[in-house]
């Protein structure tokens, strides 16, 4: 039997195997690769356990009047909502409609939260961060109690965060941006804009930053086309239904959001249960749903088991105690943003894109609507990504490449005689 030597590099023999047999891949190398992520595997397991406790402690899911029910209604009838919400999140709810369970929706969103942490960790490891540093950057999105509550609610925020992080991961995965990756990222940011329209300026910002990085006209054009075409198509669909070429009709909602920031409860005298807005949301008891025709319609068409959220001991006890320390306050988030800013200034190429997206997500909702802790949460994972990259770039020692000396030129030997 003939044997063919396997070579690597410049003809260095590595092994000899029979011709036609598949190359053997030793399991030891796979095991070694997996053991390099044992720390993050432990972190991810703990984060998954917290999400299981959340689903056991608060059932079936957090439903808000009126946002949650307009999402569910749009998923059933599959048409653009006239008012505030575009179609991106209802498309996910439509896919999950056959289960007829808002609990399944919460479970899928908890999985998205874990997926967001996995993407951040994978990207940072690809950018040569140590395992402990990459795992540390995922701690806020995986363990902050605010994210547990957000993922457990029938709201578009978790999908929005997942899509933005996925878009950044696609753009930053390789040093050289390919046309295919740019197309995928453009589609992800377009889907994010169809989930929450606050992502519209993000798409423009990303295109500007890609142009600054000089990625080439083909990837830039691919990202622009892939990001704009779905928005134009949806605006045309919206125009077909409502006679207006737009993504929504949110003028009244935006006005209400701006005026409620200076509402004086002493003058308006709202009911007692509406005067206080607690910063922490896990509590004992139940929250009955209001009597609204739309709620009854959604019960009949989407999930007959829909009811107000209620707590279950002892799981709720654990989460109520957990939420107070497991909460990222403003000063630490400010420090994370400042660290990313330092990296964006000193190592612009690596850090500027995620830091710019984080700042835009922080400023845009306040400028358009109002300040709400819920609107700050999408900033957290992206700011942590930028800060981790900044630390890596700022502390990385300068690697001096050895000077390559040319070998001396040999003079040709003179012919004898």
Q: Which pTM was predicted?
A: 0.83
pLDDT at 54: 97
38, 58, 274, 273: which is closest to 145 by C-alpha? 58
pLDDT at 30: 53
- CA–CA separation, 172 and 69 (whole Å): 36
pLDDT at 374: 83
Q: What is the pLDDT of residues 169-179, one digit of tens each?
A: 999 999 899 99
227, 181, 225: which is closest to 203 by C-alpha? 227
pLDDT at 273: 58
- CA–CA separation, 314 and 56 (whole Å): 9
Q: What is the pLDDT of residues 57-103, one digit of tens each?
A: 999 999 998 899 999 999 999 988 777 789 999 999 999 999 999 99
Per-residue pLDDT band at 191 (split at 50, 70, 90): very high
Per-residue pLDDT band at 11 (split at 50, 70, 90): very low
Q: What is the pLDDT of residues 273-313, one digit of tens each?
A: 555 575 458 999 998 999 899 999 999 999 999 999 999 99
CA 254 to chain centre: 25
Q: What is the pLDDT of residues 72-83, one digit of tens each?
A: 999 999 988 777
Which of 99-113, 293-307, 345-359 has the lowest average pLDDT? 345-359
pLDDT at 339: 94
Which of 4-18, 152-166, 395-409 has the lowest average pLDDT? 4-18
User: What residues does 58 pair with on adjacent strands?
Assistant: 311
Q: Is the pLDDT of residue 5 over 60?
A: no
Most distant CA pair in the chain: distance in Å?
116
Per-residue pLDDT band at 247 (split at 50, 70, 90): confident
Provide the mean pLDDT of the chain: 85
Count Cβ atoms within 10 A of the Cβ of residue 324 and give its class: 0-12 exposed, 13-18 middle, 19 or more buried.
exposed
pLDDT at 229: 96
DSSP, residue by residue, 194-242: HH-GGGHHHHHHHHHHHHHTT--HHHHHHHHHHHHHHHHHHHHHHHHHH
């Amino acid at each position: 039997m003939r044997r063919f030597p396997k070579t690597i590099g410049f003809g260095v023999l590595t092994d000899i195997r029979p011709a036609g047999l598949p190359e053997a891949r030793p399991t030891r190398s796979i095991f070694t690769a997996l053991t390099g992520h044992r720390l993050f595997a432990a972190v991810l397991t703990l984060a998954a356990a917290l999400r299981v406790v959340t689903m056991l402690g608060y059932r079936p899911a957090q439903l808000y009047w009126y946002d949650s029910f307009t999402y569910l209604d749009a998923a059933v009838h599959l048409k653009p909502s006239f008012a505030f919400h575009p179609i991106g999140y209802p498309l996910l709810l439509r896919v999950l409609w056959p289960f007829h369970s808002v609990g399944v929706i919460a479970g899928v969103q908890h999985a998205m939260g874990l997926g967001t942490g996995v993407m951040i960790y994978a990207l940072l490891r690809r950018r040569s961060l140590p395992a402990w540093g990459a795992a540390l950057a995922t701690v806020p999105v995986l363990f902050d109690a605010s994210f547990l509550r957000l993922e457990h609610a029938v709201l578009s925020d978790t999908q929005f965060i997942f899509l933005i992080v996925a878009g950044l991961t696609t753009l930053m995965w390789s040093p050289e941006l390919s046309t295919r990756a740019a197309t995928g990222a453009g589609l992800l940011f377009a889907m994010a804009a169809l989930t929450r329209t606050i992502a519209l300026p993000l798409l423009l910002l990303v295109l500007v930053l890609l142009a600054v990085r000089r990625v080439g006209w083909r990837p830039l054009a691919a990202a622009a086309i892939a990001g704009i075409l779905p928005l134009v198509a949806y605006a045309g669909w919206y125009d077909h239904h409502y006679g207006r070429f737009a993504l929504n009709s949110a003028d009244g909602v935006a006005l209400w959001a701006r005026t409620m920031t200076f509402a004086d409860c002493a003058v308006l005298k709202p009911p007692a249960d509406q005067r206080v807005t607690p910063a922490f949301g896990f509590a004992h008891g139940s929250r009955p749903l209001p009597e609204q025709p739309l709620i009854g319609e959604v019960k009949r068409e989407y999930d007959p088991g829909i009811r107000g959220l209620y707590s279950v001991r002892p799981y709720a006890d654990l989460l109520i105690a957990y939420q107070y320390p497991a909460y990222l306050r403003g000063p630490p988030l400010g420090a994370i943003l400042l660290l990313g800013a330092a990296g964006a200034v000193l190592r612009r190429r690596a850090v500027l894109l995620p830091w710019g997206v984080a700042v835009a997500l922080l400023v845009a909702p306040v400028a358009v609507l109002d300040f709400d802790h819920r609107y700050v949460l999408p900033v957290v994972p992206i700011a942590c990504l930028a800060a981790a990259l900044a630390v890596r770039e700022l502390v990385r020692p300068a690697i001096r490449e050895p000077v390559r000396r040319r070998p001396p030129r040999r003079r040709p030997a003179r012919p004898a005689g």
